Amino acid sequence: MKHKIITFGELMLRLSPDNNERFTQAHSYEAVYGGGEANTAVSLANFNVNVSYVTKLPEHTIGQSAVNSLRQYGVGVEHIVRGGEQIGIYFLEKKTSQRPTNVIYNRKGSAFALANVDDFDWDSIFADATWFHFSGITPAISDNMAQITLLACKKAKERGITISCDLNYRSKLWSSEKANKVMSEICKYVDICIANEDDAVGIFGLDASNSDKEKNSYIAEELIKMFPNFKMVASVWRTETSITTFKLQSMIYTEGKAYYSQEFFMNILDYIGAGDAYCAGIIYSLINDFDPQKAVEFSNAASCLKHTVSGDYVEHSVGICCLHVVLYYHNIILLVPHCGLLCLTSGNPFPEGFAAALCLFLFKQLRFL
């Protein structure tokens, strides 16, 4: 079966002070484009998946630049609506050592936030689609967008399209009370839910502290009790091991059982978009019929590798993600004559095609597949 993925959300301009400076120090800003569902679309395109992105952007040059940022990765832009006057902007002060991340949004008057229900022809958008993905950020942007997201889910469900949602609660965008009201209705149409503890607490008030079960498994069970239509709940989380190092792990809960990935120990270059890369890993795994354990390992690797790439978008292929899983899982460092050292911390010196071929060989030899 040939799959066509549709992702829906706001594409934004991200402005970050150079050299990890604070806003009050900055005299220049790095400009990149990104947004949860756009980041997921780019990851899927890098996995050679047929994916199109739906949003609304102004017709001016900045709007076109945003469209071009997707097109260069092979993401379909045929359903992007043009109109409005402003692109959404967010200012990002990156986490450094003990200093936390600081995000300031400037998106209330954006073309996407002011979009109307009639802007999106869902019958046309979903004509050849098999999967629809969005995040909880999208309905949080405006009342209109909450209505549009719900309508999109209803249209997708009418066509038998699989629906995935990354809950992705943002307290700067809406209150817990409003999020609960809106997402309780939208989640009735969702098949695959991606959620961590913060999302479950912020939106649905779930508290795992009094449970004797592992908290992510407990949250997944409770979400499925609330929404029996959820076929799967997936979660990814980071744990600090020192000021500069973290470990990353994820879980898939399906059919009454939790599957946990191995833990990756890592240094973080840029964590923005890591959850979106995880969503792409989940989608890719499921459309390719990975079993739950393989799916959680692959998705965790996709998220881990995003932490090594600056900007919102990720630039890793399936082959590199698979290599990451296999080599880390078996604690392997490969030394190949004339090709250099291949290990998890030194990047990938091989051409993509070679890496993909090598990963398949390793998968078979090490019985990962």
DSSP for 144-212, written as a single string: HHHHHHHHHHHHHHHTT-EEEEE----TTT--HHHHHHHHHHHGGG-SEEE--HHHHHHHH----TT-S
**C-beta separation of 82 from 141 below 8 A:** no
Task: Give the lowest-confidence range in 94-103, 109-118, 349-358.
Answer: 349-358
The Cα 289–Cα 266 span in angstroms is 28
Q: Which residue has the higher pLDDT, 230 or 317?
A: 230
Per 3-state DSSP, what percentage of the chain is helix, strand, and coil (rounded to 5)?
40, 20, 40
Alpha-carbon distances of 42 from 77, 120, 212, 321, rounded to whole Å = 11, 21, 39, 15
- Return the amino acid letter for 267: N
Report how far residue 360's alpha carbon sits from residue 363's, in angstroms, rounded to the nearest whole number: 5
Structure tokens at 192: 């695959």
- Dump pLDDT digits (tens) for 276-293: 999 999 999 999 999 999
What pLDDT, in 10s, does the model give residues 339-348?
A: 333 333 333 3
The answer to whether the CB of 300 falls within 8 A of the CB of 278 is yes
Q: Which range (159-163, 310-314, 350-354) has the least confidence?
A: 350-354
Q: How confident is the model at residue 98 (pLDDT cuts 50, 70, 90)?
A: confident
What is the rounded average pLDDT of the residues 239-259? 87
* CA distance to 58, 96, 158, per residue, from 108 (Å): 14, 28, 31
Q: Which residues contact 2 (CB under 8 A, 6 or more apart)?
A: 50, 130
- 172-182: buried (b, 16+ CB within 10 Å) or exposed (e) per residue? ebbeeeebbeb
119: its two tokens: 């802007």
Q: Output the pLDDT for position 339.
A: 33
Among residues 65, 64, 81, which one has the least CA distance to residue 9? 81
Domain extents for the chain?
240-312, 317-369
The amino acid occupying position 173 is: L
Residue 200 in contact with residue 136, Cβ under 8 Å?
A: no
Helices (H), 245-349: 274-287, 292-306, 318-329
Provide the pLDDT for residue 120: 98
Least confident of 26-30, 70-74, 332-336: 332-336
Q: Cβ(304)–Cβ(320) under 8 Å?
A: no
Residue 121 has pLDDT above 90, yes or no: yes
Contacts 24+ apart (CB under 8 A), 341-349: 347/308, 348/320, 348/323
**Which tokens hold the place of 265?**
């120990």
Report whether 258 contacts 217 (CB < 8 A).
yes
Render pLDDT for 128-154 as a digit per residue (tens, 0 to 9). Answer: 999 999 999 999 999 999 999 999 999
Tell which wins on pLDDT, 343 or 296. Answer: 296
What is the pLDDT averaged over residues 110-126?
A: 97
Per-residue pLDDT, averaged over 179-194, amounts to 98
Residue 252 is predicted with a pLDDT of: 97
How many whole angstroms separate alpha carbon 314 and alpha carbon 123? 30
pLDDT mean over 349-359:
46
Asked if 127 and 111 touch (Cβ cutoff 8 Å), the reply is no
- Which band of pLDDT confidence, cut at 50, 70 and 90, is reported for residue 318? low
23, 117, 214, 249, 336 from 292: Cα distances, Å: 43, 37, 18, 14, 32
Residue 368's SS3 state is coil
Average pLDDT, the chain: 85
91: DSSP letter: E
pLDDT at position 194: 97
Packing angle between helix 176-186 and helix 143-158, nearest 10 degrees? Answer: 20
CA–CA dist 160, 163 (Å, integer): 9
- Top mean pLDDT of 167-171, 241-245, 315-319, 352-356 is at 167-171
